């Protein structure tokens, strides 16, 4: 692992910091979830559109009017969509994950090791009733693609580290290394994160920064107001799941505040 990082040209200070903070306790769990979870089919996103979700999104809209208004003005993305996405991603910051993000990618970097591949092949049956030959081939391929992907995310982490040395110490998130309210990957943070106040770095644990960052991501992914086809395409780029995009759009539609009716004109007196 260390040799590969050196070979790939990572800075010695970054490698030293990675080694100092590396946590091995979730090694197999991270590998299994990232490589094998594709075997488990479910509409996880669809079942998140509930009455409670609608009310929570409405509450978020009321509590963050200024940040949402700024995001809509700058990026032209609907506030209910931003609020719905943040609910589905992390319950508005209540569930951002406890995995040490740098360690997640160091785990995945080791996925192609023969003993790791053998373990994953043995444990595939825990994720599906029937493991096909195609599944076996896909698992082998995914160990390589996940390792290469982890390397790219480590490059983004290095960029974050060079800006703020605390990034490696405090960054926790999902089993895939996504963090903060919008569950951004490090590469997404580097490319799309925006602070409400441009005088400081974006902090994705803050609602105002998370709102700007999501809006910027969707805007740069092709979101165009009034053109519904662009909504699904932009959301698919955020998370490559049609169910995910459909769930966000459905929840946003349900949570849209009812339009205020104009008061009826008073009838003129005929006295």
The H-or-E segment that residue 252 falls in is helix 242-255
**E runs forming strands in the chain:** 99-100, 172-173
Q: Is 261 among the domain residues?
A: no
Residue 271 lies in a domain: no
Query: Is 173 inside any structural domain?
Result: yes
Burial class of 261 by CB neighbour count within 10 A (0 to 12, 13 to 18, 19+): exposed
Q: How does residue 46 score in pLDDT terms, banded at 50, 70 and 90?
A: confident
User: What pLDDT does 236 receive?
Assistant: 97
Q: Is residue 270 part of a domain?
A: no
Q: What is the CA radius of gyration of the chain?
A: 22
Q: What are residue 100's DSSP bridge partners?
A: 172
Q: How many domains does the chain have?
A: 1
Asked, for residue 10, whether it belongs to a domain, the answer is yes
Segments forming the whole domain that contains residue 52: 2-255
The per-residue pLDDT for 147 is 98
Asked whether residue 134 is domain-assigned, the answer is: yes
| 224 inside domain | yes
Alpha-carbon span 14 to 154, nearest angstrom: 10
Whether 262 is covered by a domain: the verdict is no
What's the rounded Cα separation, in Å, for the pair 257 and 68? 14
What average pLDDT does range 242-255 have in this prediction?
95
> Could you tell me if 215 and 182 are in contact, meaning their C-beta atoms sit under 8 angstroms apart?
no
Q: What is the DSSP string of 179-199?
A: BTTTTB-HHHHHHH---SSTT
Is residue 40 predicted with pLDDT exceeding 70?
Answer: yes
For 191-247, write each residue's pLDDT tens digit: 999 999 988 899 999 999 999 999 999 999 999 999 999 999 999 999 999 999 999
Instruction: Give the pLDDT confidence of 93-128 residue by residue, as tens digits.
Output: 999 999 999 999 999 999 999 999 999 999 999 999
Lowest mean pLDDT among 84-93, 229-238, 249-258: 249-258
């Amino acid at each position: 692992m260390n040799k590969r990082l050196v070979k790939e040209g990572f800075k010695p200070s970054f490698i030293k910091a990675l080694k100092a903070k590396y946590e091995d306790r979730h090694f197999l769990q991270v590998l299994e979830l990232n490589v094998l979870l594709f075997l488990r089919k479910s509409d996880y996103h669809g079942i998140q559109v509930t009455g409670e979700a609608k009310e929570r999104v409405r509450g978020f809209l009321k509590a963050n009017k200024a940040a949402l208004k700024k995001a809509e003005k700058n990026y032209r993305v609907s506030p209910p969509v931003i609020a719905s996405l943040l609910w589905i991603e992390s319950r508005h910051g209540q569930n951002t994950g406890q995995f040490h993000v740098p360690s997640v990618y160091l785990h995945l970097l080791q996925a192609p090791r023969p003993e790791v591949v053998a373990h994953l092949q043995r444990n595939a049956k825990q994720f599906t009733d029937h493991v096909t030959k195609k599944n076996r081939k896909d698992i082998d391929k995914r160990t390589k693609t996940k390792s290469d992907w982890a390397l790219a995310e480590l490059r983004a982490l290095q960029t974050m580290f060079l800006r703020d040395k605390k990034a490696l110490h405090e960054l926790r998130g999902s089993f895939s290394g996504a963090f903060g309210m919008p569950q951004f990957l490090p590469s997404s943070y580097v490319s799309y994160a925006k602070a409400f106040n441009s005088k400081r770095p974006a902090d994705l644990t803050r609602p105002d920064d998370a709102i700007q960052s999501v809006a910027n991501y969707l805007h740069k992914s092709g979101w165009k107001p009034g053109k519904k086809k662009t909504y699904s395409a932009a959301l698919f780029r955020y998370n490559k799941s049609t169910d995910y995009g459909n769930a966000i759009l459905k929840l946003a539609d349900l949570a849209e505040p009812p339009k205020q009716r104009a008061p009826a004109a008073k009838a003129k007196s005929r006295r």
